[in-house]
Amino acid sequence: MKPIVDATHDPARRSWVESANAADSDFPIQNLPFGRFRAAGDGGWRIGVAIGDQVLDLRQAGCVDHADMARLLQQPAAERLALRRAISDGLTSGSPQQAAWRAALRPMADVQLGLPCDIGDYTDFYVGIHHATAVGKLFRPDNPLLPNYKWVPIGYHGRASTIRPSGHGFVRPMGQLKGPDDAAPLLAPTQRLDLELEVGIVVGRPNAMGESIPIAEAEDHVFGLTLFNDWSARDVQAWEYQPLGPFLAKNFASTISPWIVTLEALAPFRKPFARGAGEPEPLPYLDSADNRAHGAFDVGLEVWLQTAAMRAAGHAGERIASSNFADAAYWTVAQLVAHHTVGGCALNSGDLFGSGTLSGPQRDQAGSMLELSEGGKRPITLHNGEQRTFLLDGDRITLRGHCARDGLRRIGFGDCSATVLPAP
């Protein structure tokens, strides 16, 4: 579980792919995230690594002998690290592979990026304590956090079939709505459509049914992290969520970034995991010395909104919120894996965990419109004078994430974007 920082993270290392050396690139040679792509005429998805504004076809470059992402996800940590080092060496300036590998590059703008892997199952957690507290205050001012929150990583089983890669729009969902004074609900398009700023956790190695994963081994079963937007219909959710939790309010669409940033790439950006004074200690199966020493990930997160009017005016949109994974999360990635499997649940390669909304304590750090608008009571005003409480048709939300630290190259996750389309 101990992160390994090696020559692949050297900030002085440069690539012969010149676009990767730009200071503002999400994909310098120190990153090397994995995803799937296809070009015109391709029969199926290929495995690629992002490098600058290019995609390296791993099979054509001879780094793998297959195009099966699930097979790659299942590699033990030592094999993943060896593959990372081989790709990094081959892309480094002066590499003897430069001539051969140049033919395996595709401009990212010329290919279609798909889901980074086949997602068989999806679990959404609720690790953002500031979000949980803020939302709890809207409904339970005197008791915002329920008693189990600080003892159990709360989660629910989500819908994998409606997860789409960045760039795919989705229609405004229908559902039952009922106001506090209505005698009966009605079926209508949601009027309180919301975003959720989340980190996605991609399972690598599976475990057998009935076999729990100890926290000390949990990260050996995680391939990497992505950005994730779990769109929500808040008015549908308010009517349906008791007693079993979200259903139609969450199953209509989720958006994932097309690149998985590996745990190996994130090694220099780990932080100690600690809770404040007076917080309960986790039960032993959720605690370890390694998890306390470096269980958190220092990932800066942003939410950008581009309205239809902004798009028509040629404006790229504006940032409406920012937070950080390490500061927002009450539970770590390793704790989520250990808890998910403690009862014997089998995880498969490509399974996805959503972190839950990752908000900071301040209003401008809120990862949802529900918090930004204080439940719809306080609209946010954009630079062009438009106001929003919840999302309107034509709004485009983009999530962005990056890791940055003095003495290291900044690495990013790529955009996670989708546009709200009108209800049918």
What DSSP letter does each residue of 60-103 carry, written as one string? TTTS-S---HHHHHTS-HHHHHHHHHHHHHHHBTT-TTHHHHHT
CATH number of the domain encompassing residue 336:
3.90.850.10
Q: Are residues 109 and 127 in the same domain?
A: no
CB atoms within 10 A of CB 274: 11
Q: Are residues 236 and 354 in the same domain?
A: yes
263 contacts 297 by C-beta, under 8 angstroms: no
Q: Are residues 105 and 126 in the same domain?
A: no
pLDDT digits (tens, 9 = 90+) for 48-61: 999 999 999 999 99
pLDDT at position 143 is 85
pLDDT at position 141 is 87
Contacts of 78 by beta carbon, 8 Å cutoff, 6+ apart: none
pLDDT at position 276 is 87
Is the overall model pTM greater than 0.95, yes or no? Answer: yes
* Domain enclosing residue 75, as ranges: 7-113
To the query of whether residue 131 is one of the catalytic residues in this protein, the response is yes
Could you tell me the two tokens for 196? Answer: 């959720």
Select from 247, 264, 292 the least CA-distant residue to 124. Answer: 247
pLDDT at position 416 is 98
pLDDT at position 264 is 98
Category of 325 on φ-ψ map: left (φ > 0), alpha (ψ -120 to 50) or beta: alpha
pLDDT digits (tens, 9 = 90+) for 384-423: 999 999 999 999 999 999 999 999 999 999 999 999 999 9
Any domain includes 96: yes
Q: Are residues 95 and 148 in the same domain?
A: no
Q: Are residues 95 and 207 in the same domain?
A: no
Any domain includes 53: yes
Q: Which of 9, 130, 131, 294 is catalytic?
A: 131
Q: Are residues 104 and 209 in the same domain?
A: no
Single-letter residue type at 358: L
pLDDT digits (tens, 9 = 90+) for 299-347: 999 999 999 999 999 999 999 999 999 999 999 999 999 999 999 999 9
Any domain includes 335: yes
- Choose the final residue of a domain: 113, 147, 162: 113
pLDDT over 70, % of the chain: 100
pLDDT at position 41 is 83
Q: Are residues 274 and 417 in the same domain?
A: yes
pLDDT at position 187 is 97
Whole-number Å distance between alpha carbons of 412 and 251: 28
- Choose the final residue of a domain: 92, 113, 134: 113
Any domain includes 371: yes
pLDDT digits (tens, 9 = 90+) for 200-226: 999 999 999 999 999 999 999 999 999
pLDDT at position 42 is 87
Number of domains composing the chain: 2
Whole-number Å distance between alpha carbons of 398 and 420: 12
Q: Are residues 360 and 395 in the same domain?
A: yes
Q: Are residues 155 and 277 in the same domain?
A: yes
Any domain includes 364: yes
Q: Which of 22-36, 131-145, 164-178, 186-200 has the lowest mean pLDDT?
A: 131-145
Residue 34 exposed, middle or buried by CB count within 10 Å (0-12, 13-18, 19+)? buried
Q: What is the pLDDT of the chain when averaged over all its residues? A: 97
Q: Are residues 136 and 53 in the same domain?
A: no
pLDDT band at 259, cuts 50/70/90? very high
Residue whose tokens read 């609900």: 185
172 contacts 422 by C-beta, under 8 angstroms: yes
Any domain includes 1: no
- Choose the final residue of a domain: 67, 85, 113: 113
Residue 269 has pLDDT above 90, yes or no: yes
